[in-house]
């Protein structure tokens, strides 16, 4: 080693000699085609993500990317488990919610959930080894991410390595593309003039050159990661696993900790007897009075927090405590079961409170999404209870699948639409008071119901609905800089129009606004409505 270092005169010599990037694979024609397709999809994906509000365009790009990479990665004879197949299918199904709902929170959650599910599915279909266990799904996911960043240089070295047999073909292809450019420049304007849809597409792609450059640059950056992930799963055969955690919970410590919690929760359950048996009524404060609304509202989010805290404690106990033959000891198992049963009780209690509150005051995105989260927690605690008795039960795979199912229900079912529909029906049935402002805040899905409220028997409700619709015109239409109040509807343009920005909810909103505008006999709205 010393002699080798003496023969090296500079640091650059060491770098060139010892740290030269090696190709990961010998490229084939199919590799180049896949890399080019992924680059194009990345550019369109970035455009749909940052410029098109996560709508139809992103759903199409995401689905095409998953199908393409799945076909590219799949190995003959490989049979992914049912949970992995469900992860892949649910990632596709969840992506459809991008052009169904306008709820930004659901879309943001869906963006990350579909990405995680897709990575897990692609890892499985590529034949990467997975061993059931408490941590393995996490390691499985992060191993794919590690491969992505670790292999970037070697993958692109492989893709751009010289291949004399293909260099002439590549050169001839580039000549053909260059010769086609003048013809394309002549054909595109003619086709644009002949068809409005094609003209709109070309305008979307090339109208703003600066924006186009931004999309291309960001898309190329994203494509580096997408290509690296895909080809790492294809060609990197290294196995990644975790070592046993060095931190272990002593059984006596874990048991004592859980038993203290059990005592606190037992005291809480004892205090609840005051609501049901007069013999325990002395527990309640003097002159205790709790209205229906206060009872429904009070304690829901606190109970949610307790459920999450219990989840952390039980997970820590199962994963970190000392085990015999992979099983928990009785000293930790019994208090764990008590805490799980207690959590079932408070989840059911919290959900019943929320149902009462929704029946009394209407539904909101926060109320419904939090309830969905509590349902997922209930399912997760059921899985944990099974895991206590069955050591090889994989909680995380089941938890991931059910999380995707719940998200798919919220997204495909269009949570905003269901909330608007429920609130309007409950108002008409006299169950709740109408919050017109919240109906407007829901977004696209609230506009059809705002239109219905403009004809409400309550004059104040009808006026408020007309005012909210007036303001919606400022968001949904523009009039080339003119004052929208004094412009004929026929001269207005949609602010979010375009095939890549399409959502079902937005389309219904436009139709409703157009219908109402026609009823106003050409004028958008009376001036004083907006003032």
Which tens digit of pLDDT belongs to each residue from 435-464? Answer: 999 998 888 899 999 999 988 899 899 888
**Residue 288 DSSP SS3:** coil
- From residue 57, give the alpha-carbon distance in Å to each of 49, 64, 68, 275, 458: 9, 11, 17, 54, 41
DSSP 320-338: HB--BTTB--HHHHHHHHH
Nearest to 332 by CA among 313, 309, 351: 313
423 and 105 Cβ atoms separated by less than 8 Å: no
Weakest-pLDDT range from 17-21, 200-204, 431-435: 17-21
* Residue 10 confidence (pLDDT) above 60: no
Tell me if the pTM is above 0.85: no
Most confidently predicted of 54-58, 121-125, 519-523: 121-125
Q: What is the mean pLDDT of residues 503-514?
A: 86
| Other beta carbons less than 10 A from residue 95's beta carbon | 26
| pLDDT tens digits, one per residue of 249-284 | 677 777 888 888 888 888 878 776 655 444 444 444
Residue 510 in this model has a pLDDT that exceeds 80:
yes
* Contact residues for 427 (Cβ-Cβ < 8 A; gap 6+): 362, 433, 434
Query: Higher confidence at residue 498 or residue 306?
Result: 306
Least confident of 41-45, 116-120, 217-221, 484-488: 484-488
Q: How far apart are the first and last CA of the chain?
A: 84
| pLDDT tier for residue 302 given thresholds of 50, 70 and 90 | confident
Residue 181's alpha-carbon distances to 176, 259, 264, in angstroms, are 9, 75, 75
Query: How does residue 8 score in pLDDT terms, banded at 50, 70 and 90?
Result: very low
- Structural contact between residues 505 and 101, judged by C-beta atoms closer than 8 angstroms: yes
Per-residue pLDDT averaged across 492-496, rounded?
A: 68
- Per-residue pLDDT reduced to its tens digit, 112-161: 999 999 999 999 898 887 777 667 788 888 888 888 888 888 888 888 77
């Amino acid at each position: 080693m010393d002699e080798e270092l003496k023969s090296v005169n500079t640091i650059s010599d060491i770098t060139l000699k010892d740290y030269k990037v090696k190709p990961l694979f010998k490229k084939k024609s199919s590799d180049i085609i896949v890399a080019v397709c992924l680059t194009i999809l990345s550019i369109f994906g970035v455009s749909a993500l940052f410029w098109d509000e996560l709508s139809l365009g992103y759903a199409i790009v995401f689905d095409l990317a998953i199908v393409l990479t799945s076909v590219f990665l799949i190995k003959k004879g490989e049979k992914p488990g049912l949970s992995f197949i469900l992860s892949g299918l649910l990632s596709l199904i969840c992506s459809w919610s991008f052009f169904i709902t306008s709820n930004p929170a659901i879309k943001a959650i869906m963006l990350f959930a579909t990405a995680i599910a897709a990575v897990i599915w692609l890892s499985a279909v590529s034949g990467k080894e997975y061993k059931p266990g408490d941590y393995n799904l996490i390691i499985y996911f992060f191993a794919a991410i590690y491969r992505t960043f670790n292999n970037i240089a070697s993958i692109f070295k492989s893709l751009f390595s010289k291949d004399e047999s293909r260099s002439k073909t590549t050169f001839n292809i580039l000549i053909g593309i260059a010769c086609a450019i003048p013809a394309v420049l002549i054909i595109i304007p003619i086709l644009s003039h002949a068809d409005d849809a094609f003209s709109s597409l070309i305008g979307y792609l090339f109208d703003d050159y600066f924006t186009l450059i931004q999309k291309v640059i960001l898309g190329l950056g994203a494509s580096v990661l997408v290509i690296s992930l895909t080809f790492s799963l294809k060609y990197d055969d290294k196995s990644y696993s975790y070592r046993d955690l060095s931190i272990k919970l002593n059984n006596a410590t874990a048991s004592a900790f859980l038993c203290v919690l059990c005592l606190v929760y037992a005291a809480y359950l004892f205090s609840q007897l005051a609501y049901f048996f007069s013999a325990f009524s002395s527990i309640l404060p003097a002159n205790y009075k709790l209205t229906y609304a206060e009872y429904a509202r009070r304690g829901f989010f606190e109970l949610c927090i307790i459920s999450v805290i219990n989840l952390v404690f039980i997970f820590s106990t199962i994963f970190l405590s000392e085990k015999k033959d992979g099983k928990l000891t009785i000293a930790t198992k019994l208090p764990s079961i008590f805490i799980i049963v207690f959590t079932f009780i408070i989840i059911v209690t919290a959900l019943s409170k929320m149902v009462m509150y929704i029946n009394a005051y209407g539904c909101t995105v926060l109320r419904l999404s939090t309830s969905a989260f509590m349902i997922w927690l209930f399912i997760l605690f059921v899985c944990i209870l099974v895991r206590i008795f069955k050591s090889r039960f994989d909680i995380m795979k089941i938890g991931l699948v059910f999380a995707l199912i719940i998200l798919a229900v919220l997204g495909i079912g269009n949570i905003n639409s269901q909330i608007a529909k429920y609130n309007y029906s409950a108002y008409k049935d006299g169950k709740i008071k109408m919050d017109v402002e919240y109906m407007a805040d829901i977004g696209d899905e609230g506009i059809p119901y705002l239109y219905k409220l403009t004809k409400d028997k309550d004059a104040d409700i009808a006026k408020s609905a007309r005012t909210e619709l007036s303001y919606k015109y400022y968001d949904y239409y523009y009039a080339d800089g003119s004052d929208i109040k004094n412009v004929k509807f026929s001269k207005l343009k949609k602010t979010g129009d375009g095939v890549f920005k399409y959502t079902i909810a937005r389309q219904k909103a436009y139709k409703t606004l157009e219908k109402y505008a026609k009823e106003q006999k050409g004028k958008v709205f009376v001036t004083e409505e907006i003032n």
